[in-house]
Amino acid sequence: MALIELEQVTKIYRIGMVDVFALNGVSLAIEQGEMTAIMGPSGSGKSTLMNILGCLDVPSSGSYRLEGDEVGSWTDGQLAETRNRRVGFVFQTYNLLPRLTASANVELALLYGRSRNAKQRALQALDSVGLRARAAHRPAQLSGGEQQRVGIARALVKDPVLLLADEPTGNLDSRSSNEIIAMLQRLNRDQGLTVIVVTHEPDIAEHTRRVIQFSDGKVVSDRPVPNPRTAIADRNAQEGSAS
C-alpha cells in the first residue's frame, strides 16, 4: 500500500456557467519516504492537486487514499483532523501570523489537538530548524529564509506523515532557497519523511528523486531523477554540491 494513491481524480470548478477541469483524471501513487517534485505551468492543476493531497479540498470524482483511508467521503471535521495530525504544510508566502512570535506560530499547529507541553515541543521544533535563539522574534523581525524555517518547524511539530511544500522557495534568494531545500532533503533522507514539493524551478526539481509534470490538469510525464543533487546550506560549497 502506497502512502498516497490517486485513481482517476478529477476536480471541477464551476466558473459562471462553465465547468473548469482543474484536475482531469489524475492517477498516481507516491510511496512512503519519497521526495517528489510536482511541476507545471500555472493553471496546470498542481496547486489543486496539493490542496487535495493536503485534505484542504476533496476530489469531485475519483478516489484519493491516504495511508489506505478513502478521503473523498470524509466530513469537514475528519479532513481538519487529518490536516492537523498527518499533513504538514509549507507555503510560498510562509503564512505566519504576524502578531505572534516564532514559537507561538509553531504552537499554533498544536492548538487544535490534544498536545501536552506545547511550548516545549514548539521550541524543540524551532531547535531542529536552527532557530531556537529566534523563538521570541516576530515574523517581521526575521529574514525570509528564517520565516520559512519557522514555517517548516510549524509543519513538523505534529510529526506528520506527509510534508507538502507549495513553492517553498518562491519568495527567497538563492542562498536561502538552498538552505530550505537542504532542510527538506535532510528531513527526507534522515527521517524518511515523505516530501512533495510544488515548484516551477527545474533547479529545485533536480534536488528531488522524482518529477511529475502537469499540464491542463493531467500528468504528462512522471520520471525518476537519476542523480538528485544535494543541496548544502552554504554558498561556498554550492558549486561542489552536484554529485
Stretch that binds other proteins, among 4-12, 20-28, 74-82, 122-130 (CB under 8 A): 74-82
| Parallel, antiparallel or unpaired: strands 35-39 and 210-215 | parallel
- Residue 154 in the binding site for other proteins (CB under 8 A): yes
| Total of chain residues touching other proteins, rule CB under 8 A | 25
Q: How far is the CB of 122 from other proteins (least distance, A)?
A: 13
Site string for other proteins, 81-110 (x = CB under 8 A): xxxxx---x-x---x-x-xx-------xx-
Q: How far is the CB of 49 from other proteins (least distance, A)?
A: 12
> Which residue in the set 77, 223, 227, 243 belongs to the binding site for other proteins (CB under 8 A)?
77
Q: Dihedral angle at the C-alpha atoms of 173, 197, 33, 219, nearest 10 degrees? A: -150
- Residue 64 in the binding site for other proteins (CB under 8 A): no
- Cβ count within 10 A of residue 115: 15
The DSSP string of 176-206 is HHHHHHHHHHHHHHHH--EEEEE-S-HHHHT
- Name the grid cell of 230: 544535494
Give the list of residues 6+ apart from residue 220 with CB closer than 8 angstroms, or none: 213, 214
Q: How many alpha carbons fall within 13 Å on the CB side of residue 121?
A: 17
| Nearest residue (CB) to other proteins, 64 versus 91 | 91
| Nearest residue (CB) to other proteins, 119 versus 175 | 119
- Strand arrangement, sheet containing 4-15: 18-30, 4-15, 61-66, 69-70
End-to-end, the C-alpha distance of the chain in Å comes to 32
- Residue 56 in the binding site for other proteins (CB under 8 A): yes
| Nearest residue (CB) to other proteins, 84 versus 241 | 84
| Nearest residue (CB) to other proteins, 109 versus 129 | 109
Binding site for other proteins (CB under 8 A): 51, 54, 56-57, 76-77, 80-85, 89, 91, 95, 97, 99-100, 108-109, 111-113, 154, 158
